[in-house]
Chain A
Amino acid sequence: MKQILIASVEDKPGVLNRVSSLFRRRNFNIESLAVGHSEVPGVSRMTIVTDEVEQLRRAIVRSNVEKLVNVIEVDDVTDLPCVVRETALIKVTADTTKRREVMDFAEMYRARIVDVANETLIVEITGESSKIDALIEVLTPIGISEIMRTGKIAMRRGAVAPRTNGATA
């Protein structure tokens, strides 16, 4: 199982660089990294997925990220109940004869068609990464010309919130 970290960081220039530089410098591998604003002004939240599997190594990765001055706190949610999602945009090469097939697959996977052009369709899908992988697999024979994935974002289930959330502090 991949390691999933949720990091609350100060929303300042260069913080993403500090985090990614740390992973490179310490020879940790980032599988994916997604970042955006949080519910607290001035705080951004990152979901970082690493390929570390061993507990001691995971603890070292976590403490290294947390040691960065601009990182407020880090939660290792790998083994905790949480919702993990990823979004992908998949551009499929499909003329009018193949459109129906693409739309059928999209419906089966609860994906949406968000753009239609003469020769292409863009399919948007949100879900667990394995579901996205499966849709890509069935669309590949039709012809995929471009894929854009966000990387995973994660949130713990239930009434637990990061310390940075003033409401529950």
Chain B
Amino acid sequence: MGKKLRGADIVWESLVEEGVEVVFGYPGGAILPAYDALNNYREKIHHVLVRHEQGATHMADGYARASGKVGCAMATSGPGATNMVTGLATAMLDSSPIVCITGQVPSGAIGGDAFQEVDVTGVTIPVTKHNYLVTDVNEIASTIREAFYVARTGRPGPVLVDITKDALNAVIEDFEYPTYTISLPGYKPPAPVTNEQVVAALELINKAKKPVILAGHGVLISGAMNEVLELSRKGNIPVTTTLLGIGGVPASHPLNMGMMGMHGEACANHAIQEADLLIACGMRFDDRVTGNVSTYSPNSKKIHIEIDPTEINKNIKVDIALNTDLMVALRQINPGVTFNDRSEWLHRIRDWQEDANQRDILQMKTPTLMAAQAIRAIWEGTAGNALVVSDVGQHQMLECQYYQHESPYTLLTSGGLGTMGFSVPAAIGASFHKQDREIWVIVGDGCVQMTIMEFATAVQENANIKICIINNGYLGMVRQWQQLFYDARYAETPISSPDYVKLADAYGMPGYRVSKLEDAIPTMRKAQEHKGPVVIEFVVEQHDMVYPMVPAGADLHAMIRRPHRQFAEMEM
């Protein structure tokens, strides 16, 4: 015999059953019944009051990426739901499993332009993996259950459940949470690949002279870190990662060349272009990693291991497509991989790396604190062990280059959508996943001002996050493009900031300013002693650029490089 429950209580009952510990949300008219019912579930679920619904979605996303579980956000109808669109799109592009629950006007009022009515399922079709409109109290639990299943299985992604207010208010006399095995007629998990495909892939791998492994976000989502490492070690094959693949292979692994693509390591891009075999593991040949597709890795055979069939041959035509879960595929492939000397190929890569070392800004005497130095100091000050949440722009790319990630799930960043303002809320969300790592935010002065209202959430929740604002007074990456491709005609890229130390104080948290490199680590130590949010502003040189850079649409090997002795004249 089940319980007599309101639809609003069933929402929380369902979330508890799905293992939800924390919900990020904001109340409002249509979702009011659910907030009323929240009072019955305080012991089981912690609710975080955000300051803007976009923040709720990024928090759920950050929590999901840090924990591997499904993140959950809640908002009211109309503006509450539309504020979630950016966060849904961010999660969609980066395959992050979140479930967003929104209130909707009563079912009888739908379509009549009622107060705070928006066709939320219509609006969010393109930015969700799937979405639902629930108008019947009897379908709330089964729909939420299905939403969590769809969000976390296959290629993960965001799912939205829009529930009408009358369904939330209706009562079921005999409620029991469903336990049947979910089977959706149109949603099938991928099958393992056939033996013929494995044999064909192995033949390419074992005879390749200049192979490269491209390790993407799929490595982390599938949990195939060991399998990728084994493929690399067993075959002596160099690896490069995508932005979201960082951490999938330890930075110190001798065959790890670092990140590929627009601001990737020169050696990785050169290796891709000269390779005779690419083994793409859970990545989608995004334009930021390929550059000009018509000249991309022209002489290589390509193996694509990818769970999403729509990604195969989408951007780059491949020779062998293994459409299945990466871990499953590599466990089929790895036993057949033979060791291969490949010393000539690895030497060639080492030569490119040495050239890059000489161009490294950390080898140069600079007139002032550089953003790259600040980020390297954050790496040192956290012993490389932090969970870093970075935002979007120059600081994000420098983080990839100068923070060496040894472990998976230690870098959270908005890759596909490039959502400015992601980092602070995502870090707050990640802080609700119990872990030993310190959480450090690396954010630009432009990005931080996009979601700065979440400082209040961080303080209210005493989220133990350290927010490092890399302040160069510009929307730096856009300024870089204006400098390089628009004859330095800067339009709306200089940006002012509040006094971040005073602002931190106003929000009720410690704030520090660092403008000399030698102050970085001691300031970080002070921040580490404080259990709770801290702001550290790094005032950095204003005009430096991120190198290397492949201009948009250019050939991947056509990188703009940092001059060898860029700062020699300044020293005189």
Contact = CB atoms under 8 A, between A and B. Distances in A.
Contacts, number: 42
B184 interface: yes
A69 B150 contact: yes
A67 B310 CA distance: 8
B126 interface: yes
A56 B313 contact: yes
Contacts of B417: none
A69 B310 contact: no
Nearest to A57: B313
Interface in A1-36: 9-10, 13-14, 17-18, 21, 25
Interface residues of A, number: 22
B313 A59 contact: yes
Contacts of A71: 186
Contact of B125 (A18, A64, A73): A18
Interface residues of B, number: 19
A70 B313 contact: no
B317 A56 contact: yes
A82 interface: no
B185 interface: yes
Given A69-B186, A70-B186, A63 B130 contact: no
B310 A63 contact: yes
A21 B185 contact: no
A56 B304 CA distance: 15
Interface string B121-161: 11001100110010000000000000000100000000000
Contacts of B125: 17-18, 21
Contacts of A53: none
Interface string B274-316: 0000000000000000000000000000000000111011100
A67 B309 CA distance: 8
A19 to B, nearest CB: 10
Nearest to B185: A72
A68 interface: yes
B314 A60 contact: yes
B235 to A, nearest CB: 29
A63 B311 CA distance: 9
B187 interface: yes
Contacts of A67: 308-310
Give the interface centre of B122, B186, B310 by most chain A CB atoms within 10 Å: B186
Contacts of A9: 186
A48 to B, nearest CB: 15
Shortest beta-carbon contacts, A-B, top 8: A63-B309, A72-B186, A69-B130, A72-B185, A63-B310, A71-B186, A56-B313, A64-B310
10 contacts: A9-B186, A10-B185, A17-B125, A25-B126, A59-B312, A60-B314, A63-B310, A66-B186, A69-B150, A71-B186
